[in-house]
Amino acid sequence: MKFLKLFALLFVFQVQAQQGGMWIPSLLDGMNAKEMQALGMKMSIKDIYDVNSSSLKDAVPHFNGGCTSEVISPKGLLLTNHHCGYGQIQAHSSVENDYLADGFWAYKMEDELPNENLEVTFIVKIEDVTKQILEGVAVLPNESDKQAKIQQNISALSNSFPKEKYQENKIRTFFEGNQYMLFVTETYSDVRLVGAPPTSIGKFGSDTDNWVWPRHTGDFSLFRIYADKNNQPAKYSKDNVPYTPKHFLPISLDGVAEDDFTLVFGYPGKTSEYLPAVAIEQIVNELNPTKIEIRDRVLKVTDGFMRKDKAIKIQYAAKYASTANYYKKWIGESQGLQKSNAAGVKKAQEKVFQEKLIKAGKETEYGSLLADFDTNYKAIAPYAIARDYFSEIVLRNVELLKTTYKFVQLEQIYKNKGEQSFTDRKNNLASGLGEFYKDFNKKVDEKIFEQVIEMYAKQSPQQFLPVSLKNANATQLTADVYGKSKLTTFEGVKEILSGDTKSILKKLNSDPAFKLVKDLSASYFNEVAPKYDELNMKITALQRDYMKAQLELGTNDRIFPDANSTLRVTYGQVKSYAPKDAVLYEPVTYLEGVMEKYIPGDYEFDVPTKLVDLYKAKDYGQYAQNGKMPVNFIGTNHTTGGNSGSPAIDANGNLIGLNFDRVWEGTMSDIYYDPSICRNIMVDARYILFIIDKYAGATNIISELKLVHPKTGKSMKKKDLKKK
C-alpha cells in the first residue's frame, strides 16, 4: 500500500513537468486524459465534453466575444469577472445609483437589469472539418488561389452543415492553417445584470495589484440568461423566462490546497507559442521596449494630472487602466522571457528540429525554414517598429491624433466613395464625438503629445518619417497643434463640419492637427504598411509550414494549437512559486491580506466598512476555512486574455474558483510557458459566495445554487454532477 502510494507520487511528480497547453475539448482522449488523471482528475473525458449528453462544456459560454462565463444554477445564473461586466455595470450607473461605487444586487428576478449589446454563446458541437476545407487546395499553383479556395470551402460548408434554425456554424483554423474545426453555436442575447460587488471589492488593488501576486480581488459579477418559452435564444422581452441550462456547475465549499487538480475551461484569445528564437529576441529587444517607453510617458503624464484633479481622475480612470494593463504585462513578459532564457530554449529546440528533419529526409521541403525566418524577421524589424509607433501614438494614446485620424479617413471617404458616403460619415462623427469630448482634457493630452511626439521624431525609424515631423521641434509643434487646431474641442469640430463639402475639406486641410495626422498616415500607409504586410504574409506562410513540419516530424506530442478565441481546456494544480531567490509565494490569500493592504480613502485600496465589520466579527458563515476567509489562489493552468471569467473546476467537476489574471513573472506564457513561474490567478469560489451572502445579503441568489462538499464527504455523488 505504502509502496503503491510512493509509486503514484513519483508518477505524479514526473507528469508535473508536463503542463501548459490550451487543448481542444473534443480531442482530450489519450495523452491529455492520462496527464489529467495523473494530476488528480477524477472525472471522465466525457464529463468534460460530450455531444450526446450534457457535459461541462454546456455550462461555459463565451461572454460577449471577449471573456468567458459559466452557468451556476438551473435558472441560467451566470458568473463572470467584474472587469468583464464593467461596461454593463457602468452603463446602469448614474450619480444617484452608482453601482460601480456601491455595487448592485437584484433581490428578486424582476429587478434584474437588461443590457443592450450583450450576448453569450454556447458551443453545441465541435467537428474536425480539415479534409473538407482543404479539398482541392493542394493542386492550386499559388498562395492566393489557395486562400480563395479555402474561403470558398469554408462558406460552402458553413451553409450546408446540419444545424437548427436558431444555431450557427462557425469554422476556425488551428495550427496556423493546418487544421480546421467547425463549431455549432447558440447565442443568447437577453442577458441581465444580477449582481456586482462595489469596485472596492471587485477591483480591489486596481492597477497597483494588477498582474500581481499576492492578490486580494473579488473580481466577479453575476448575470442571468433569458430565453423564449422553448428555451431558445430570443431578443429581450418581458415575456422571456430564465434559461434552463443543459448543465450547470455545482460549487464546492471545500476549497483548495496545494497540489489539488484544477481545470480551467474558457476562450483564450491569442497566443504565439511557436515563434522562432529570432522573433522572441525581436519582441524582447525592440518591440516591447518601444511600446513600454511610449506608454510609460503617457501614464506618467496622466497619473500626474489624475492625482491633482478629481474631475480628471474620473475622466481618465478607465483609459488609464486600459493603457496600464498591457504596459505592465509587457514589462513582465520581457523580464520573464529573459529570465527563462526563452530564446535560448527555442534555439536548442531549433537545432533538434533541423537534425530531425535531415534524418527524416525532409530537407528539401523544410530545410530552409529557419534561415528564411531569420531573413524575414530581420527584414520586417524596422517596419514592425514603425508600425508600433504609428498605432501606439496616432491610433491609440494621443487622443487628439486618434480623433483627427477619423477626419483624415473622412477625406479619404470623399475621395474614394463620393459625396453621399462623406455626408453619412460626417453626420456620424458630428453626433458621435460628443461623448468623446466629455472625457477629453486638452491640457492632459497636450502634455502627452509633447512627450511622445518627441520620441516619434527622434527614436522611430527615420527613413519613414514625413519631413514635417523629421525636422520638427517638439515644443514648438505642440504649441502649434494645440494652440491652433480646432479639433481640440467639440465646438471646434462642429464649426469645421458646418458648410458644404468643399469648405469642410478646406478648413480641415488648414488645421495643424489634421495636417500632421495626414502626413503621418500618408507615410505610414505608403512607406510602412505595404512592405510590412508583404513580409508578414511570408512569415505567416513560414509559420504554417513550420507547424506542419513539427506535426509531421512528431518532435513533441504536446503540441497544442495557439489560442484563437475558441473553447479550450487547460489543466494543472494549485501551486506555490518562487518568483526570485529566497522568496516563496504561497498559493492561497486570505481576508487578512485585504486588511493589511487596506488604506482608508485610497482609490485603489479602500474597502467598504461592512467588509471590515464582517472581518472583525469573523462572520464568514459556511465559507471559511479553519476560521479564515480565503480570497484568491493560483495554479499552473495555462491561460491568457479571454480566459477572464473562466471557471476553475476541481477533480470532480465542481466550481472552485473564477479565473481573472496571471502573475507578473509568468506573463510571458503567451509566448513561452514555463511551469516554474507561470501561474493563473483565481478568485476562491467561497469568497464570491461570502460576498453574495454575508456582504450583500442576497440569499435569493445563494438559494439557487448547488453547494457541495466533495472533499469532506458531506458529499454529493458523482452522478449528481449531471443535472438535467
Site residues, ligand ARG (CB under 6 A): 83, 203, 206-207, 210-211, 321, 325, 641, 644, 661
Backbone torsions φ then ψ of 264, nearest 5 degrees: -115, 130
CB of 662 to ligand GLU, least distance (A): 4
Nearer to ligand ARG, 543 or 644 (CB): 644
Determine the residue with CB nearest ligand ARG: 210
Place of cell 487578512: 592
CA atoms within 13 A on the CB side of 484: 16
The answer to whether 83 is a known catalytic residue is yes
Neighbour count for residue 321 (Cβ, 10 Å): 15
CB 190 within 8 A of CB 115: no
Partner from ligand ARG, ligand GLU, none binding residue 642, C-beta < 5-8 Å depending on class: ligand GLU
CB of 206 to ligand ARG, least distance (A): 5
CB 400 within 8 A of CB 482: yes
Tell me how far apart the alpha carbons of residues 276 and 141 are, in angstroms, rounded to a whole number: 28
- Residue/partner pairs of 696-703 with CB below 8 Å, 24 or more apart: 696/103, 696/105, 696/195, 696/197, 697/105, 698/105, 698/106, 698/107, 698/195, 700/107, 700/108, 701/77, 701/105, 701/194, 701/195, 701/222
| DSSP three-state, residue 584 | strand
- Sort 710 into a burial class: Cβ within 10 Å, 0-12 / 13-18 / 19+: buried
| Binding-site ranges for ligand GLU (CB under 6 A) | 639-644, 660-662
End-to-end CA distance of the chain: 39
CB of 641 to ligand GLU, least distance (A): 4
CB of 643 to ligand GLU, least distance (A): 5
Structure-block grid coordinates of residue 333 = 513578459
Partner from ligand ARG, ligand GLU, none binding residue 186, C-beta < 5-8 Å depending on class: none
CB of 271 to ligand ARG, least distance (A): 14
Nearer to ligand GLU, 328 or 518 (CB): 328
Q: 3-state SS string over 167-198? A: EEEEEEEEHHHCEEEEEEEEEECEEEEEEECC
CB of 670 to ligand GLU, least distance (A): 8
The answer to whether 219 is a known catalytic residue is yes
Spot the catalytic one: 644, 646, 669, 684.
644
Backbone torsions φ then ψ of 59, nearest 5 degrees: -105, 5
Nearer to ligand GLU, 93 or 565 (CB): 565
Partner from ligand GLU, ligand ARG, none binding residue 674, C-beta < 5-8 Å depending on class: none
Nearer to ligand GLU, 528 or 681 (CB): 681
Nearer to ligand GLU, 295 or 662 (CB): 662
- Sort 97 into a burial class: Cβ within 10 Å, 0-12 / 13-18 / 19+: exposed
Spot the catalytic one: 62, 82, 83, 216.
83
Tell me how far apart the alpha carbons of residues 490 and 487 are, in angstroms, rounded to a whole number: 7
Partner from ligand GLU, ligand ARG, none binding residue 47, C-beta < 5-8 Å depending on class: none
Tell me how far apart the alpha carbons of residues 25 and 126 are, in angstroms, rounded to a whole number: 8
Distances in whole angstroms, Cα of residue 127 to Cα of each of 51, 57, 552, 565: 10, 14, 22, 16
Partner from ligand GLU, ligand ARG, none binding residue 640, C-beta < 5-8 Å depending on class: ligand GLU
Partner from ligand GLU, ligand ARG, none binding residue 207, C-beta < 5-8 Å depending on class: ligand ARG
CB of 321 to ligand ARG, least distance (A): 4
CB of 375 to ligand GLU, least distance (A): 32
Distances in whole angstroms, Cα of residue 357 to Cα of each of 361, 365, 527, 660: 6, 9, 38, 41
Which amino acid appears at position 203 of this protein? K
Nearer to ligand GLU, 49 or 660 (CB): 660
Partner from ligand ARG, ligand GLU, none binding residue 125, C-beta < 5-8 Å depending on class: none
Buried b (16+ CB within 10 A) or exposed e, 222-232: bbbbbbbeebe
CB of 672 to ligand GLU, least distance (A): 14
CB 599 within 8 A of CB 305: no
Partner from ligand ARG, ligand GLU, none binding residue 321, C-beta < 5-8 Å depending on class: ligand ARG
Nearer to ligand GLU, 122 or 660 (CB): 660
Partner from ligand GLU, ligand ARG, none binding residue 211, C-beta < 5-8 Å depending on class: ligand ARG
Spot the catalytic one: 219, 260, 445, 511.
219
Helix, strand, coil percentages for the chain (3-state, nearest 5) = 50, 15, 35
Q: Which residues are catalytic?
A: 83, 219, 644
